[in-house]
Structure 1
Amino acid sequence: MNLDDNRKALVELANYKMPFGKFKDRYLIDVPEYYYTWYRQKGFPEGKLGRMMQQMHEIKINGLEEFIYNIRKEFKRK
């Protein structure tokens, strides 16, 4: 993955919304950490969403939420 691919992946992660459940239509960054922790224990979904949820869990447990908020503000999808 090159730098441009990483940038695109971060922009997508910052603008991605939960497609189902209790937090449907909320940005992944706005889903509470406990939800990701529960999925970590039970198993993340397969595929792209599962990978993004794992990434968001790591971001949240490392206190990097502001980084994602800044990306979303800078590169808001229309």
Structure 2
Amino acid sequence: MNPEILKEICIVKMPFGKYQGTVLADLPISYLEWFQRTGMPKGKLGIQLATVYEIKLNGLTELLIPIRSAVRNQR
């Protein structure tokens, strides 16, 4: 996994839809599953959503804890 993508998914907010304004890492798995079934958006957002999906699907959300702490400390 690209470390920059991991950092981005802890900062970037969903730009549209039902969960507009929600940090990508906080999106519910059901929403990510819907994208997986219907097709991820093109471009960087699609890569970011696919990354969050894989992390949540495989029970790896704890990997994001230190990244989120670092991001909070930078603000």
Fold shared by both chains (TM-score > 0.5)? yes
Residue aligning to 2:15: 19
1:74 aligns with 2:55: no
- Normalising by the residue count of structure 1, what TM-score does the alignment of the two structures yield? 0.81
Over the matched positions of the two proteins, sequence identity in percent amounts to 40
**Whole-Å separation in 2 of the counterparts to 1:65 and 1:75:** 16
**Whole-Å separation in 1 of the counterparts to 2:26 and 2:71:** 17
Q: 2:35 aligns with which of 17, 21, 39?
A: 39
- When residues 47 and 31 of structure 1 are mapped into structure 2, their CA distance, relative to the original with a 3 A threshold, is same
Say whether the 8 Å CA contact 1:14–1:71 is kept in structure 2. yes
**Structure 1 residue ranges, 4+ long, deviating more than 2 angstroms after superposition:** 6-9, 75-78
Say whether the 8 Å CA contact 2:5–2:48 is kept in structure 1. no
Residue aligning to 2:47: 51
AA partner of residue 67 (structure 1)? L
Residue aligning to 1:10: 6
Can you give the 5+ residue segments of structure 1 that lack an aligned partner in the other structure? 1-5
Count of residue pairs the alignment pairs up: 73
RMSD: 1.4
Can you give the 5+ residue segments of structure 2 that lack an aligned partner in the other structure? none
